[in-house]
Structure 1
Amino acid sequence: MTTEFFMPMKNVPTVTHQQKQLNLKLSIQKGKPIFYEPDDLKAARAKFMAHLGQHVPEKKYSKGPLRLIVKWCFPIKGKHQDGEYKDTKPDNGNMNKLLEDCMEDLGFYKDDCQIASLIVEKFWAKIPGIYIRIEEI
Structure 2
Amino acid sequence: MIEFFMPMIPPETTAQQKKVRVVNGKPIFYDPSDVVKAREKLTAHLAKHAPSEKYLGPVRLTVKWLFPIVNGHQNGEYKWTKPDLDNSNKILQDAMTKLGFWKDDSYVASLIVEKFWAKVPGIYIRVEEL
TM-score band by shorter chain is: over 0.9
1:39 pairs with 2:28? no
Report what 2:7 is aligned to: 8
How far apart are residue 26 of structure 1 and its match? Answer: 3.6
Where 1:50 maps in the other structure, the secondary structure is helix
- The answer to whether the Cα contact below 8 Å between 2:65 and 2:116 also exists between their aligned partners in 1 is yes
1:113 pairs with 2:106? yes
Matched length: 130
Report what 1:81 is aligned to: 74
TM-score between the two structures when normalised by the length of structure 2: 0.93
Q: Residue type of the partner of 2:96?
A: M
**The structure with more helix, counted as a fraction of residues:** 1
1:70 pairs with 2:68? no
Identity of aligned residues (%): 62
* Structure 1: 4+ residue segments shifted above 2 A: 25-29, 31-36
Distance 2:85 2:61 in 1: 13
- The answer to whether the Cα contact below 8 Å between 2:17 and 2:31 also exists between their aligned partners in 1 is no
Distance of aligned partners of 1:32 and 1:91 in 2 relative to their CA distance in 1, 3 Å threshold:
closer
Report what 1:57 is aligned to: 51
Where 1:67 maps in the other structure, the secondary structure is strand
1:123 pairs with 2:116? yes
TM-score between the two structures when normalised by the length of structure 1: 0.88
Could you tell me which runs of 5 or more consecutive residues in structure 1 were left unpaired when the two chains were aligned.
Answer: none
Where 2:17 maps in the other structure, the secondary structure is helix
Distance 1:64 1:56 in 2: 16
Distance 1:103 1:60 in 2: 10
- The answer to whether the Cα contact below 8 Å between 1:25 and 1:38 also exists between their aligned partners in 2 is no
Q: CA RMSD in A?
A: 1.7
Could you tell me which runs of 5 or more consecutive residues in structure 2 were left unpaired when the two chains were aligned.
Answer: none
Distance 2:22 2:38 in 1: 22
Q: Residue type of the partner of 2:72?
A: K
How far apart are residue 27 of structure 1 and its match? Answer: 5.6
Where 1:116 maps in the other structure, the secondary structure is strand
Q: Residue type of the partner of 2:97?
A: E
